[in-house]
Amino acid sequence: MNHVYQVRQELKPKGLKGISDDQINQHWSLYEGYVKNVNTLNERLAAFVSKSEYGPEYAEMKRRLGFEYDGMILHEHYFSALKPGQPALTDSSELVKQMKRYFGGFEAWKKEFTAIGKMRGVGWAILYYDPQYRVLSNHWITLHDDGHPAGFVPLLVMDVWEHAFMVDWGVTGRPDYIEAFFKNVDWPHVEKRFQEAAKAAVALA
Ligand SMILES: [Fe+2]
CA of 197 to the centre of ligand 1 (A): 24
Residue 137 lies in a domain: yes
Last residue of a domain, one of 32, 54, 80: 80
CA of 55 to the centre of ligand 1 (A): 32
Q: Long-range pairs for 142-148 at CB < 8 Å and ≥24 separation? A: 143/67, 144/66, 144/67, 144/70, 144/71, 144/74, 145/66, 145/67, 145/69, 145/70, 148/70
Residue 13 lies in a domain: no
Q: Looking at residue 57, which CATH number applies to its domain?
A: 1.10.287
CA of 74 to the centre of ligand 1 (A): 8
Could you tell me the residue range of the domain that residue 109 belongs to? 94-200
- If asked whether residues 69 and 104 sit together in one domain, one would say no
pLDDT, one tens digit per residue, over 68-119 is: 999 999 999 999 999 999 999 998 999 999 999 999 999 999 999 999 999 9
CA distances 37 to 14, 53, 56, 93, Å, are: 25, 21, 19, 39
CA of 30 to the centre of ligand 1 (A): 7
CA of 49 to the centre of ligand 1 (A): 31
Residue 186 has pLDDT above 80, yes or no: yes
What is this structure's pTM?
0.95
CA of 58 to the centre of ligand 1 (A): 27
CA of 205 to the centre of ligand 1 (A): 37
Residue 205 has pLDDT above 70, yes or no: no
DSSP characters for 58-119?
A: HHHHHHHHHHHHHHHHHHHHHHHTB-TTPPPP-TT-HHHHHHHHHHSSHHHHHHHHHHHHTS
